[in-house]
A and B are shown apart, each in its own frame.
Chain A
């Protein structure tokens, strides 16, 4: 099993550009989430989904869109990149009922110049 796969691993964008961070899991997990990690601020939830067709906002959703058309995929779209979106982005997934926590992808390091 591949687990949670994130692409790309690194990306540099210019201010105003848009892009999509890809996330796919092959574990049939119902729950998927996107987090951003900035120094000293831990992991902050951007958007999450409890199943295909269902998404909701987390703590810091502004400037990001998500969709969940399938159980496996949960892409994160940056609509118009800003330097404040420079961060490391993690996708994570989990079963709805489990004691095994979230499985994280290896992350995407995004720089907006």
Chain B
């Protein structure tokens, strides 16, 4: 079945440093979604990418979807303590659009002030 792999599993940064997490799928994705989960909380949707090579920005966050639609990345510029949490990528399995969403293992980000 489809696998979605994320690296790194953990990342510790000093406040102000940049952070990047990478996501790779074993199959081509119709879209990829990114979620953030604060410690003790639930996942919250951040963004969806659909087009090959797409790049989207949300303030200090930059999301990219690979040309082959099998990989993606999330880059945070100048991290802040509010960025702490686990970042997940997710893609639909089996060619569906949304019904069966497979998540990566997540990257746990710690930001030291």
B-binding residues in A (CB < 8 A)? 31, 33, 35, 40-45, 48, 50, 56, 58-59, 90, 92, 94-107
Q: Looking at the complex, which of B11-19, B64-72, B93-101 is the stretch in contact with chain A?
A: B93-101
What bracket does the count of chain B residues touching chain A fall in? 20 to 34
A52–B41 Cα distance when bound, in Å, is: 28
Report yes or no: A94 in contact with B98, Cβ–Cβ below 8 A.
yes
Further 18 A-B residue pairs, CB within 8 A, beyond A40-B105, A44-B103, A101-B45: A33-B101, A40-B9, A41-B105, A42-B6, A42-B88, A42-B104, A42-B106, A43-B43, A48-B99, A48-B101, A56-B99, A58-B100, A96-B99, A100-B45, A101-B47, A102-B45, A105-B42, A107-B42
Report yes or no: A59 in contact with B102, Cβ–Cβ below 8 A.
yes
Given known contacts A31-B99, A50-B99, A101-B33, A59 and B42 CB-to-CB distance under 8 angstroms: no
Q: List 11 A-B contacts (CB under 8 A).
A: A42-B88, A42-B104, A45-B101, A56-B99, A59-B1, A90-B43, A97-B97, A97-B98, A101-B35, A102-B33, A102-B98
Residues on B with C-beta less than 8 A from A33 are 100-101
A43–B48 Cα distance when bound, in Å, is: 18
Residues on B with C-beta less than 8 A from A101 are 33, 35, 45-48
B78 at the interface (CB under 8 A from A): no
A99–B46 Cα distance when bound, in Å, is: 10
A25–B42 Cα distance when bound, in Å, is: 15
Rounded to whole Å, the gap between the CB of A73 and the closest CB of chain B is 17
A-binding residues in B (CB < 8 A)? 1, 6, 9, 33, 35, 41-48, 50, 88, 90, 97-106
Partner of B98, one of A31, A41, A90: A31
Residues on B with C-beta less than 8 A from A48 are 99-101
A40–B98 Cα distance when bound, in Å, is: 24
Partner of B42, one of A90, A94, A97, A99: A90
Residues on B with C-beta less than 8 A from A50 are 99
Report yes or no: B45 in contact with A56, Cβ–Cβ below 8 A.
no
